[in-house]
Structure 1
Amino acid sequence: MDMSPNGIRLGAVELRGWQVHKLDPVPDDVSGQWSAYLVRVNYDFAVADDIPAPQWAEVRFEFPPGTFVADALPRSVEETTSAAAYTLTSQLNFVRREAGPGRWRPGSAADTIPMPVFLSRVECTGVGGDFVRWRHVGALTGGTHTAGLVLLVPHGVEALAVVASGTYHLETPPELKLRPVGRRDSFTVALPTATRAQQQPLAVVRERRERGAPRIFISYAHDNREHKAAVRQFHDFLTDWGADVHYDQNGLDSQRNWDKWIVTGILRSDFVLPIASPAYLAASQDELPPGQHKAAEFEYLRLADLLHRERETWTKKILPVILPGRSADEIPLSFLPGIVTHHTVTSYSAEGARTLIAVLGGGRAAG
């Protein structure tokens, strides 16, 4: 069970852990380019007893380019269906499991795939592309809902970046001018690679946030090779300390939508750590050479906008950091270096980052 998505809230939808199994054998037209995975997805709908249930609610998962949803379950449910067992065909499609031996070896996750009762109409879209969406319509019930999908992932990818979103529709009096709120979030799912993973669910380390450690987004500019190496050392120190660090050099073995990656990474973080440097300062002052450090400029503008809209919340979440050899003069003025605390790291150790660790160790920022 991979717990990476567990506890992520998308409005009225809350994600739970995924079960991921590597499939073998796979069709010849697949094996040359992709690895195949059977994924069991779990999510909750927050339906309160004292208010009307939403008319519909949906959950959507987007995968990196080059990844394909070969099939999904449920595909289309028009009325209440009973619990049933499914299996996969040789072409990796879901079908009802019949009595007797199947094509998969006994004990394989693909041999018998149990699915629960479906009480509402379910519409599925995205099969054959790089996303999947399940919309539940009418008679929504609370509790955990389960779905399944077969993912084709390029060979060599060990972790999959997923962007999730949840949406729902709730009738409210027009005069209140209210509308339901959904949101996007991102997480990374580890993919099993060892042969033994074909025989049992993937066992991975639980998401650090379940132990109370913070989620951190490192925002920095690629000034030069030495600065990038220093940021890498800082990242390694934070990871060893126990933080869940969102860092642009991780997960580069698959294509990435940088806009989504940056925005969801910032919004789901407990703290954002802007790293002081000449190029980062230049990004904040619109003084960058044309075409250079565009990612740092994009990140800075998002953070400045959040500070403008929700200053109290984001002043607590944005913690400017000065690495060895850098200066407080390189902190963007939007982050108020003269009146708001910044953190000087003298070495990549708990003592060298004492003030920063004290804040991070206190848990998540308010808000």
Structure 2
Amino acid sequence: MDATPGVTIDLAVVDQDSKRFGAAPGPIMTGALRVHSWQAHPIRLALEQFDGAEAYLIKLNHELETTPGTPEVNWFEFGVELSDGSVVDAIPHHTKPSHPSLSYVVNDHLNLVPAANGVTPAAHLPTAGETIHAFGVGSGGVRWQHWAAPDSGVRPGSRVAWLVALVKRGITHLDLTVTTRFDQNPMPDWNVMPALEPAELRIKLPAPAHPRPAVTTHSVGGSTAVLLPSGPRVFISYAQDNDAHKRLVRDFANLLIRCGLDVRLDQFSGPGRKDWFLWATENIDDADFVIVIASPRCLAVGEGKADRNENPGMHCELGIVRDRLQGNRKLWEQKLLPVVLPGESLTNIPVFLQPQAMDRYEIDELTEDALSDLLATIRHGIEDDSSSPVVLTATNTGRALADS
């Protein structure tokens, strides 16, 4: 946190001809918007990510102080313009008075996303208590517009805003211009309009974070795509026992995505003809973890009791998994995670996954709390490994065997 005194923007009113209102030598002051303190946190990027720029998470504590006896403020706007760089994301984004308090993390694309249970957040927003609109995200500046409830003025007091700034490598200070606008509710005999004077703010930047491992390249459809470290990648292998089970697996996959995981599932596959054997091999080998969903057909395939001409997707995937397990048991015993979804049975986990001798994950409902043990295992397993790649030029895909 910077200990430098904050900046103050006085909120004044002038007449329609831009002359100071009233006989006093100075303007009538309706209040002030103050930036009391700020923080700058370096964000760890992959080497060569974002063209070698540097990224910082900036926190701005600001306060609206109104003058007693003056008309209420219908809305006010607090904004910052970067002299050099861009605002990749910012919070609050768009909120309503009932918006709850939330904690956020910065993902690999420099977006601020809600933090899942068990993840240490990077930023926190208290309950808004008012309507807030954000403007300018993705440009050189951002503005937050705070609206009062009908028939009431904007409440005075402290607020917080966060932004992710992308700047040129090597700069030591972030220079900002702080601006504000507001709408006063004057008395009928006033012929006035708001006035403001921008203020300059300089934030000293800490040393940039050490870069992540170097990127690599991978051929995708004849073109080269950049591979960057990402969150834990999970491949989900399951049998399509019936439509209800298939929907349940999809809901489970979407919940994992909301928890910050990079999920590969056949139902997320895009259109087009694919070689599903090659897709399964590549995604199983590239995954940090392979989740095998228990079901009667999964058990039958896994223990060699199913017709070889049925469930070809499951035969293919479990065949690859068994082969990898045989080749490196120490590694794959940790990567293979048997999961029992709501309504399923532990007895439907194939014996080669050792459901009695090793951990399995029985989920009684599809909530983040119910996934706590599974998420803890995944995050603990990759906490010292930031080498998981994600192809940025293609959508996460899966295999869509009609009878997997």
**Structure-1-length-normalised TM-score:** 0.47
Bigger radius of gyration = 2
Compare the two structures and name the one with the higher strand fraction. Answer: 2
